[in-house]
Amino acid sequence: MDSRFDGIKRFDKKVWLASPTMHGDEKKWVNDAIDKNWVTTLGENINEVERIVQDKIQRKYAVGLSSGTAALHLAIRLAGEKLYGPRPCNVGTLTGQKVFCSDMTFDATVNPIAYEGGEAVFIDSEYDSWNMSPEALEKAFEIFPDVKLIVVAYLYGTPGKIDEIRKIADDHGALIIEDAAESFGATYKGAQTGKFGDYSIISFNGNKIITGSSGGMLLTDSEYDCHKVRKLSTQARENAPWYQHEELGYNYRMSNIIAGVVRGQLPYLDEHIALKKKIYERYREGFKDLPVSMNPIPDNTEPNYWLSCLIIDKDAMCPQVRSEREALYITESGKSCPTEILDSMMAFNAEGRPIWKPLHMQPMYRNNSFVSTEGLLRGRSNAYIDEGTASDISMDIFERGLCLPSDITMTEEEQDVIIDIIHRCFL
Ligand SMILES: *Cc1c(COP(=O)(O)O)cnc(C)c1O
């Protein structure tokens, strides 16, 4: 490290981006399942977490599944069959169909489109919420008017422009799959995320605000869909004396042991959100005098503050170049960049993370379409955007933004050291 960082001591214990926060009740419900020998994909823990989550989000049905990704896959399968009818062997429900989806998100949001043979069309983000831009979505319907399905994710726990997206979807007769994996507990106009999709999902993966180590849920108001998800997630057995199969199923049900961990965690959701919010506000205060902003909080929304992020002002960016696998930067006085900040934090044993690399920039999806507010930008394979190319907002946020250590167990003193490190990056 250079002399700018003199006097800072390396953290003995790693400061995490977001680690699981256990409270003790988790063990009680896991032990309860073992004591009662409900060590399978049935049991009281599953029933209870489904009931608690459906009440919390105000949906008629919640189905516990093995992961958020499994929930997204089943949502895609159901939506595909509803829109386009069943296919032979129920394979490739979306074959030949385009689906509009968030561009700056985890690839789990969109991979299930490919599992079902569909083609993701990526919709640019907006600065207001860092989520799907309604204007770009409108543009996408001008270009591809036949599309009938939208997958929308809420980044880092902040809801997007839900009403605007719902109106556009309704105007075009499209269904919405809502990926609220990161935003459990966040609200939009007073209602919980997970409430707004024709199919919605949440995740209990290890670093989410509530965890079961793994696990997820699909939320719906349709009894038919609920039964269908229960059936498909347990290998699609028919009601017969033997294993009778009339359609393709999966092994996607939640385990009663995992559900025990989730059950122990759920009472702490509000506490976790309050702690995460404090972290966000402490960063915001600490960065007041730097040329950076925190991730935005749009009107009408109360995030769950899962991850605190920052974005560096355009004119305070030092030169930074990212290839497919590596990053380089040149230190400049008064300026910094995400790579420098992430490297510096890592040198002191604190974990940050780049913003989700936009999916339209992922080699795997290089041939998929990408629509910005300015129209169709197709097949972009260069990994670096010219500054001033305003049309690719996802890429701009990726270039200038990063996720900060947002772990609930981080102390105020540790957070102050991280704030100090980031100040010194700008020296
Ligand atoms: C974590 C996450 C998922 C996937 O959830 P898993 O439970 O890990 O399968 C999907 N979408 C987003 C946006 C996520 O952050």
Is the shortest distance between the CB of 109 and ligand 1 below 6 Å? yes
262 and 305 co-located in one domain: no
Q: Where are the beta strands (DSSP E) in 158-253?
A: 175-179, 187-188, 191-192, 199-203, 216-220
174 and 219 co-located in one domain: yes
112 and 248 co-located in one domain: yes
Which residue, judged by its Cα, is nearest atom 14 of ligand 1?
181
Taking the centre of ligand 1 as the mean of its atom positions, its distance from the CA of residue 202, in whole angstroms, is 8
What per-residue confidence (pLDDT) applies to 176? Answer: 98
Contact 254, 215 (CB under 8 A): yes
197 and 136 co-located in one domain: yes
Q: What is the pLDDT of residues 274-289, one digit of tens each?
A: 999 999 999 999 999 9
Q: What is the pLDDT of residues 4-39, one digit of tens each?
A: 999 999 999 999 999 999 999 999 999 999 999 999
Domain with residue 392: its CATH number is 3.90.1150.10
What would the two tokens of residue 13 be?
Answer: 């214990």
What per-residue confidence (pLDDT) applies to 378? Answer: 60
What per-residue confidence (pLDDT) applies to 88? Answer: 86
161 and 46 co-located in one domain: yes
Q: What is the per-residue DSSP string for 260-303?
A: HHHHHHGGGHHHHHHHHHHHHHHHHHHTTTSSEEEPP--TTEE-
Which residue, judged by its Cα, is nearest atom 2 of ligand 1?
181
177 bridge partner residues: 151, 199
What per-residue confidence (pLDDT) applies to 375? Answer: 82
What per-residue confidence (pLDDT) applies to 72? Answer: 98
289 and 413 co-located in one domain: yes
Number of domains in the chain: 2
Q: Of all helices (H) and strands (E), which one includes residue 52? A: helix 44-57
Domain with residue 203: its CATH number is 3.40.640.10
Q: Which of these three, 267, 285, 313, is where a domain ends?
A: 267
Q: Which of these three, 198, 232, 267, is where a domain ends?
A: 267
Q: Which residues of the chain have pLDDT under 50?
A: 379-388, 390
C-alpha 401/C-alpha 310 separation (Å) is: 6
What per-residue confidence (pLDDT) applies to 89? Answer: 87
Best probe residue, ligand 1, of 203, 218, 255 (max atoms within 8 Å of C-beta):
203
Is the shortest distance between the CB of 407 and ligand 1 below 6 Å? no
189 and 331 co-located in one domain: no
Atom of ligand 1 nearest to the CA of 204: 7
339 and 389 co-located in one domain: yes
- Cβ-count burial 104-128 (b if 16+ within 10 Å, e if not): bbbebbbbbbbbbebbbbbbbbbee
CA 362 from chain centre, in angstroms, equals 17
What would the two tokens of residue 322 be?
Answer: 């990212």
What per-residue confidence (pLDDT) applies to 376? Answer: 79
Best probe residue, ligand 1, of 109, 158, 199, 233 (max atoms within 8 Å of C-beta):
109
Taking the centre of ligand 1 as the mean of its atom positions, its distance from the CA of residue 264, in whole angstroms, is 21
Q: Of all helices (H) and strands (E), which one includes residue 376? A: strand 375-376
C-alpha 223/C-alpha 230 separation (Å) is: 11
10 and 68 co-located in one domain: no
232 and 133 co-located in one domain: yes
Q: Which of these three, 267, 296, 330, is where a domain ends?
A: 267
182 and 43 co-located in one domain: yes
Residue that the structure tokens 């129920």 belong to: 90
121: helix, coil or strand? Answer: strand
What per-residue confidence (pLDDT) applies to 138? Answer: 97
Taking the centre of ligand 1 as the mean of its atom positions, its distance from the CA of residue 216, in whole angstroms, is 8
Could you tell me the residue range of the domain that residue 10 belongs to?
3-20+269-425
Is the shortest distance between the CB of 106 and ligand 1 below 6 Å? yes
Taking the centre of ligand 1 as the mean of its atom positions, its distance from the CA of residue 169, in whole angstroms, is 23
258 and 376 co-located in one domain: no
